[in-house]
DNA sequence: CCAGGTCTTGTAAACGATTACAGAAATCTC
DNA sequence: GAGATTTCTGTAATCGTTTACAAGACCTGG
């Protein structure tokens, strides 16, 4: 592969002139510039970004560390972040942690060694000694959706409290008294927030949720399926179930399907996170939608700002929105 | 950030010894090794992969260039590829082309400048002068799903011909005579293959597909929705429709839903690509499933093989499988 | 006791860019 | 036409590694 030296030789100038000519710096005669451009084309020159990065101490690369791209929420995040990164001239390195703190730590180490200019992440746990150390090393970090309290970095997320409260309100108005929730891990911020909002909302409406109606999953499909099976097996099964994310909702819907439960006659159902196919279901599934594209774009924008200007921007909190659909209906036609 | 020099000073040895000690090379006394490890810990040393890459002429990074991660097929591909890459010690840089050859070209240029060790891609078009040039530059390339004929690189893909033929056979047996297809762009290999397999399969069964029943979309949702609307607006609408990928299927299902068409009584429907929620639909949607995880893993494995051993492995073709579900039924209860 | 090993270590040259600095050439000013 | 200024160019240092090569230390066997 041709180097800057080859171009210099071919054009009959020094490497400094080549560098200046190609980077568009001033102080290069028009004639030299043309010769360099022609020579560079002739030898098929492609600047070596590795060498440039070493010299410039910047890689024009960002790291995105998320639990799993297969989760539609993070798929959309990845897409939005990649778009914004690309727009700002950055490449994106992707890592899936599978909610495993050790895998997360390994990814972070790799990203630091690769000297990425910044890291965008959704940590597996609310506490992470390793991440604190990473932050201390000085790489700009922006949290997406979830965050680690002890790390002083901007957070970009959607607040679901209001929307969850609204959902509980609707269910209460529809006459539901046996509310159940399939929660995410309480170690995660979003898991805890959604659970608390649900429980508090219910209590505020005089509908305290019994412990047996609270199932804690791990944000993955299987746990949602299992939780729903357990709920349905209760003597007095709930009349309305709220799943705290889309994967567990998928599992829960499978479990409902398996026993032939009719929505909303037998059970009302709602999910946190909206996905494209919810509205195609019979009945369409009520969901709380996060402004994912905006979140991803904001996160990437903030990160590039920190990287380039060294500023310390504010966190961003957007509102999640309740999207009421047919899967929530009046209680008890079959009870 | 601490460099190898700092470690050397701290440990009282030369940088060569530090390098050797940390890389586990032989020819370092146990005593020196311990001193280096201790010193490196003390100063919080993280090797600079950029410098290493420059020296070693290898970045331990692969590029993945796909149309769009939001397409569930490519989401799964990205996940599988990332897993395999990570397993083999590589990082993954992601790029979405949106089927735009220019965007694709820009990504390839960036990847080449960043000196990725290999590129895994699903090209937007079957022809690409730029990609030919890229291949000539010597970077290992592996094609995933789609490929460019003129580039001599291994291809990893699923063959859908047999499964599409099987689908047509089933529809024929169910008595369908007005078969329609919502095809992908005929410039793409997979788009053309699925269309051809459908048309030929139909013809072979004495059910030639009229031109008005052939809609060519662009693999995106909107085009599927539009195509289905047009099909439904015909005087003699088809009794069975096959969508050539999942996004267009989603659009088509929306269009069907919008006019209140009942499946399979009014229309039988099938899609190429299976997605998690197809089986939750009422009725569940018939689909042709590709072994995506295997494809992604194979592609990554092949690419790392080329990168590391310089071999030229064979292409891999796996079989797609027809998954019959309730959305295909006997013709004409309503006709 | 010394020639010839083996082990361990350090020096210095890459890798391919950017850029400070200095010098050369061209242009301007009076 | 001399000096000042501007414009252009080249030399060489630098970024942080890895590793070829040389050399010193220590053994071994005759």
Task: Determine which of A25-34, A36-45, A242-251, B240-249 has the lowest per-residue pLDDT on average.
Answer: A25-34
3-state helix, strand and coil shares in percent for chain A, rounded to the nearest 5 = 45, 15, 35
Task: Spell out which residues of A between 3 and 62 contact strand D, using CB within 7 Å.
Answer: 12-17, 20, 26-32, 51, 54-55, 57
pLDDT higher than 70, residue B293:
yes
**Band of residue A207 on the pLDDT scale cut at 50, 70, 90:** very high
CA A27 to C1' C26, whole Å: 14
Nearest Cα of chain B lies from the Cα of A51 at a distance, in angstroms, of 6
pLDDT higher than 70, residue A334:
no
pLDDT digits (tens, 9 = 90+) for A9-39: 999 999 999 999 999 888 899 999 999 999 9
Judge: A78–B91 Cβ closer than 8 Å, yes or no: no
3-state helix, strand and coil shares in percent for chain B, rounded to the nearest 5 = 45, 15, 35
A15 CB neighbours strand C below 7 A: yes
Give CA–CA dist A188/A84, Å, rounded: 26
CA B34 to C1' D24, whole Å: 22
CA distances from A236 to A201, A212, A224, A311 (A): 21, 10, 19, 55
**Band of residue B137 on the pLDDT scale cut at 50, 70, 90:** very high
Per-residue tokens: B115: 């000196």
Does the CB of A312 have a partner CB in chain B at under 8 Å? no
Cis amide leading into A283 (omega within 30): yes
CA distances from B178 to B55, B206, B300 (A): 64, 11, 42
Chain A stretch 59-98, residues whose beta carbon is closer than 8 A to a beta carbon of chain B: 59, 61, 68-70, 75-76, 78-79, 82-83, 86, 91-96
Chain A environment of B91 (Cβ under 8 Å): 93, 95, 110-111, 114
pLDDT higher than 50, residue B129:
yes
| Nucleotide closest in space to A19 (CA vs C1') | C18
pLDDT reported for residue A333:
55
Mean pLDDT of B133-158: 94
Cis amide leading into B87 (omega within 30): no
**Band of residue A335 on the pLDDT scale cut at 50, 70, 90:** very low
Q: What is the mean pLDDT of chain B?
A: 95
pLDDT higher than 60, residue B253:
yes
pLDDT reported for residue B335:
44
pLDDT digits (tens, 9 = 90+) for A55-65: 999 999 999 99
Give CA–CA dist A40/A36, Å, rounded: 6
Share of chain A above pLDDT 70, in %: 99
Does the CB of B254 have a partner CB in chain A at under 8 Å? yes
Residue A223, C-beta contacts closer than 8 angstroms, at least 6 positions apart: A182, A217, A248, A251
Give CA–CA dist A43/B54, Å, rounded: 21
- Our CA angle for B272, B274, B278, nearest 5°, is 115
- Which residue is it, tokens 């690369």? A61
**Band of residue B333 on the pLDDT scale cut at 50, 70, 90:** low
Mean pLDDT of B53-61: 97
Per-residue tokens: B63: 């590029």
Q: What is the mean pLDDT of chain A?
A: 95
pLDDT digits (tens, 9 = 90+) for B165-184: 999 999 999 999 999 999 99
């Amino acid at each position: 592969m041709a180097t800057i030296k080859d171009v210099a030789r071919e054009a009959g100038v020094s490497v400094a002139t080549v560098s200046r000519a190609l980077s568009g710096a001033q102080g290069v005669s028009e004639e030299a510039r043309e010769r360099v451009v022609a020579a560079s084309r002739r030898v098929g020159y492609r600047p070596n970004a590795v060498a440039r990065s070493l010299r410039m101490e910047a890689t024009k690369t960002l790291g995105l560390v998320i639990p799993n791209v297969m989760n539609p929420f993070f798929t959309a995040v990845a897409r939005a972040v990649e778009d914004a990164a690309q727009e700002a001239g950055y490449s994106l390195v992707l890592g899936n942690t599978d909610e495993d703190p050790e895998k997360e730590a390994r990814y972070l180490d790799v990203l630091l060694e690769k000297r990425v200019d910044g890291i965008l992440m959704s940590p597996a746990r609310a506490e992470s000694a390793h991440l604190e150390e990473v932050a201390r090393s000085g790489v700009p970090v922006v949290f997406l959706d979830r965050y680690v309290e002890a790390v002083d970095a901007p957070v970009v997320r959607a607040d679901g409290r209001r929307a969850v409260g609204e959902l509980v309100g609707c269910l209460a108005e529809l006459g539901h008294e046996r509310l159940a929730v399939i929660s995410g891990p309480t170690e995660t911020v979003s898991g805890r927030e959604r659970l608390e909002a649900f429980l508090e909302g219910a209590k505020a409406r005089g509908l305290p949720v019994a412990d047996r109606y609270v199932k804690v999953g791990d944000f993955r499909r299987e746990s949602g399926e299992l939780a729903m099976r357990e709920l349905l097996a209760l003597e007095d099964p709930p009349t309305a179930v709220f799943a705290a994310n889309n994967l567990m909702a998928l599992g829960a819907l499978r479990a409902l399907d398996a026993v032939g439960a009719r929505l909303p006659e037998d059970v009302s159902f709602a999910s946190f996170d909206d996905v494209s196919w919810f509205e195609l279901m019979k009945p369409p599934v009520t969901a709380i939608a996060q402004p994912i594209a905006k979140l991803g774009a904001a996160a990437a924008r903030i990160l590039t700002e920190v990287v380039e200007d060294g500023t310390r921007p504010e966190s961003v909190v957007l509102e999640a929105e309740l999207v009421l659909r047919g899967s929530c209906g009046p209680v008890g036609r079959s009870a």
